[in-house]
Amino acid sequence: MDNKEKLFGTQEITAHFRNFLLSQSSIINKMVFKGAKLDERSSQISVLLGSACQTATAIAKLSESPEIFLAECIVLARGFLEKVINFCYLLVCNREEYERFLKHTIQKSYRKLNRKIALDEHAFQIKWTGEIDVDNIPELKEALAKFTSESGKEKTHWTKANLLDRIKIITQNSKLQSASFLLNTLTIYEDASEALHGTLYGCSFHTGAYEPNLDKKDSRKVRQNIQQNTTLLLWQLGMLFHQVILLLNEKNNLKKALEISRHNFDNSFKLMESMLDEKETK
């Protein structure tokens, strides 16, 4: 690959980092769903990793047309980020917090059987017509009590720990460093939230409209900027998967999977470093 072909912001480079993300996802899939023996917690909440892999696949597919779907990639990346952080947090948090996570699911699935909404003279209700005797299901009764306030309203959050709190607990109780988690939170979370809330900024930030050093009249530079941001996003998400694999290895001694992931990570880092160095010299 010559210098021209290696220019940061080309489709070829984006494809390389797309493959990095998908390769990391494949390692996770093989570990979790194809025979690796995992500890109790890792196995019990492996559905979070399965969902993260599905999200990664969706992001990879949408990243093939970043000029159209970059904002959607970033919205999905927020969900990916939270799934990964939650999984890592749940592997190292105390038993009480872990049980809260499980109980949240129990009470949420019950409450979803009867939902209603009303505004002025309009009201809608979706209700299951069967019957469940809560008093005869101690686990459900306990979960409902834990997630019901004194005023009788539902407590909607499964944990009181925000994302930064969870990241802190992860790093305090494992060998992981906070850098990858913090970088992804900084570059993804706020923009994704704006997009989800449908603000003007959230519907247009991905075009580079608010980047002061970008010449918006130069369509080539605008496209290149979108391609670069897509490449960085794919790289960051692939690095997050590496964090998951590092932590799973701490808990389960998965040396072969870690070796492959570290090889992928090192190669991606060297290539990105060369891309950014090249960009600085242009």
146-180, pLDDT tens digit by residue? 999 999 999 999 999 999 999 999 999 999 999 99
Query: What pLDDT, on the 0 to 100 scale, is given for residue 33?
Result: 76
| Per-residue confidence band for 2, with pLDDT thresholds at 50, 70 and 90 | very low
153 and 197 belong to one structural domain: no
236: in domain = yes
Query: What pLDDT, on the 0 to 100 scale, is given for residue 282?
Result: 53
| Per-residue confidence band for 1, with pLDDT thresholds at 50, 70 and 90 | very low
| Per-residue confidence band for 278, with pLDDT thresholds at 50, 70 and 90 | low
126: in domain = no
79-108, pLDDT tens digit by residue? 999 999 999 999 999 999 999 999 999 999
3: in domain = no
Q: Is the pLDDT of residue 4 over 50?
A: no
124: in domain = no
137: in domain = yes
Domain range for 143? 102-113+133-161
Over residues 52-74, the mean pLDDT reads: 97
189 and 264 belong to one structural domain: yes
- Give the separation between CA 174 and CA 94, rounded to whole angstroms: 13
84 and 154 belong to one structural domain: no
- Alpha carbon separation from 243 to 119, 256, 279 (Å, rounded): 45, 15, 27
275 and 141 belong to one structural domain: no
| Per-residue confidence band for 6, with pLDDT thresholds at 50, 70 and 90 | low
Query: What pLDDT, on the 0 to 100 scale, is given for residue 7?
Result: 79
Over residues 224-248, the mean pLDDT reads: 97
178-194, pLDDT tens digit by residue? 999 999 999 999 999 99
Q: Is the pLDDT of residue 255 over 60?
A: yes
Match 């290149």 to its residue by tokens: 224
The token duo for 66 is 């970043």
Q: Is the pLDDT of residue 145 over 50?
A: yes
274 and 203 belong to one structural domain: yes
Phi, psi of 177 (to 5 degrees): -100, 155
Query: What pLDDT, on the 0 to 100 scale, is given for residue 9?
Result: 87
5: in domain = no
25: in domain = yes
Cβ pair 63, 233 in contact under 8 A: yes
Q: Is the pLDDT of residue 231 over 60?
A: yes
197-230, pLDDT tens digit by residue? 999 999 999 999 999 999 989 999 999 999 999 9
Query: What pLDDT, on the 0 to 100 scale, is given for residue 280?
Result: 55
Sequence-ordered strand ranges (E) for 153-211 = none
Could you tell me which of 247, 266, 255, 244 has the C-alpha nearest to residue 29?
A: 244
Most confident of 68-72, 127-131, 216-220: 68-72
225 and 142 belong to one structural domain: no
Match 């209603």 to its residue by tokens: 116
**What ranges in the chain are assigned the alpha helix state H?**
11-33, 40-44, 46-62, 66-92, 95-111, 138-146, 163-172, 179-184, 190-196, 219-252, 255-281
183 and 138 belong to one structural domain: no
More confidently predicted of 30 and 198: 198
Neighbouring residues of 95: CB distance < 8 A, sequence distance ≥ 6: none
87 and 199 belong to one structural domain: yes
**Average pLDDT over the chain, rounded to an integer:** 92
Could you tell me which of 233, 275, 268, 276 has the C-alpha nearest to residue 70?
A: 233
Per the structure, the count of domains in the chain is 2
Neighbouring residues of 28: CB distance < 8 A, sequence distance ≥ 6: 49, 52, 53, 241, 244, 245
Phi-psi region of 207 (alpha: psi -120 to 50; beta: other; left: phi over 0): alpha
143 and 187 belong to one structural domain: no
121: in domain = no
Q: Is the pLDDT of residue 5 over 60?
A: no
275 and 202 belong to one structural domain: yes
Over residues 5-18, the mean pLDDT reads: 86
Q: Is the pLDDT of residue 3 over 80?
A: no
75 and 177 belong to one structural domain: yes
- Looking at residue 159, its amino acid is T
66 and 141 belong to one structural domain: no
Query: What pLDDT, on the 0 to 100 scale, is given for residue 19?
Result: 97
The token duo for 181 is 């988690």
Cβ pair 234, 241 in contact under 8 A: no
